[in-house]
Amino acid sequence: MTEDSPQIQQLKVRYRQSFPEKLAIIRKARSELLQENNITFAREELHKLAGSSGMYGYSELAANCRSAMEKLDTRDSLSSLEAIDAVIKQLDSKI
């Protein structure tokens, strides 16, 4: 593929700038999972992040999100939390 157009590059910058916001959402999802066992919210947000991060080339982050979703589906809360923590750590490292 040819190199990205300047607009796409710009969009990628903006996407990266949205990481703090996304981090806050995933943290919220983590605490809601912990306190209220709100699996739906966590799953939805991970799903969104998996979709967009993959599109912007953050394949490892997307893979982590997908793995966290799978953990959530097994209803194993401990490994779900671990997987979400991995997503959080990764997001945090990119800010």
Partner 1 sequence: MRVCESSSNIKDYGFPELQPGQVIDDAIDFMIGMDVNTKLDLPFVASPNGMSISVSLVPCGDNLTVLISDVSDTTEQRRKLQQAANENELLVERQKKLMAELERASRKLEQKNRQLEEASRLQTSFLSGVSHEFRTPLTSIIGYTNLVLNNLQKTGDEQKGLADCNNDYLSAVQRSSKHLMSLVENLLDHGKLDSDEIVLKPKPNSLKQLIDDVELVLRPLSETKGIEFNVIPPYNETATVMVDDSRLRQCLINLIGNAIKFTDQGSVTVDFNYANDTLQVSILDTGIGISEEDMNKIRLPFYQASGTGKIGTGLGLTITERIINMMGGALDIFSELGEGTLVKFNVHASDLGSLDLDSATRELIKTKSLDILLAEDDPFIADLMILMLKDWNIDVTHVVNGALAVEAVQSHNFDLIIMDIHMPVMSGYEAVLELNRIGSTIPVIVMSASAVEADQKRAAELGCSAYLTKPVDVQEIIETADILLSQ
CB of residue 45 vs partner 1: minimum separation in angstroms? 11
- Residue closer to partner 1 by CB (options 55, 95) is 55
- Residue closer to partner 1 by CB (options 20, 57) is 57
**Rounded-to-10 torsion of CA 62, 66, 69, 71:** -120
Interface ranges with partner 1 (CB under 8 A): 1-2, 5-8, 10-11, 13-15, 18, 44, 47-48, 50-52, 54-57, 59, 62, 65-66, 69
- Residue closer to partner 1 by CB (options 12, 27) is 12
CB of residue 15 vs partner 1: minimum separation in angstroms? 5
CB of residue 82 vs partner 1: minimum separation in angstroms? 20
- Residue closer to partner 1 by CB (options 28, 47) is 47
Q: Cα–Cα distances in Å, from 44 out to 28, 37, 57?
A: 12, 14, 20
Nearest CA among 56, 51, 49 for reference residue 88: 49
